[in-house]
């Protein structure tokens, strides 16, 4: 019984040290027809504990998910197909784990437009 309490206590301690999800995910710059820089603001919860961000993206309608990790509050995505729309989500992370996903950011390179949409985090 004692070990069960220790496990639960350890789990709850780690959860309390997780950062929240980034906020204000946006397109910072359309660099060219195939490159976009997205950015975000540090999370409100435990922003001082963020060690990295994980960026996930895919063309809309595709199941092929790509991801990368950065310590910066921005990420430049290259070699995108200009005739497709893309969904992006971001997580904050540290050695205790990862936050929940942000709401998806939908980007069209053709019209150089972006909008955020709340799909209940259905990207993944």
pLDDT digits (tens, 9 = 90+) for 75-111: 999 999 988 999 999 999 999 999 999 999 999 887 6
pTM attached to this predicted model: 0.80
SS (H, E, C) 21-34: CCEEEEEEEEEECC
Rounded-to-integer distance, Cα 66 and Cα 31, Å? 20
Structural domains in the chain?
A: 2-116 (2.60.40.10)
**Helical segments of 17-68, H only:** none
């Amino acid at each position: 019984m004692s070990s069960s309490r220790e496990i639960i206590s350890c789990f709850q301690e780690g959860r309390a040290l997780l950062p929240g999800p980034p906020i204000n995910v946006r397109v910072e710059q359309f660099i060219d027809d195939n490159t976009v820089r997205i950015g975000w603001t540090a999370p409100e919860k435990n922003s001082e504990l963020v060690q990295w961000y994980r960026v996930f993206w895919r063309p809309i309608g595709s199941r092929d998910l790509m991801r990368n990790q950065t310590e910066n509050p921005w990420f430049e995505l290259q070699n995108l197909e200009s005739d497709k729309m893309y969904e992006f989500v971001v997580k904050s992370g540290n050695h205790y784990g990862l936050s929940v996903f942000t709401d998806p950011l939908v980007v069209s390179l053709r019209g150089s437009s972006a909008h955020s949409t709340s799909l209940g985090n259905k990207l993944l």
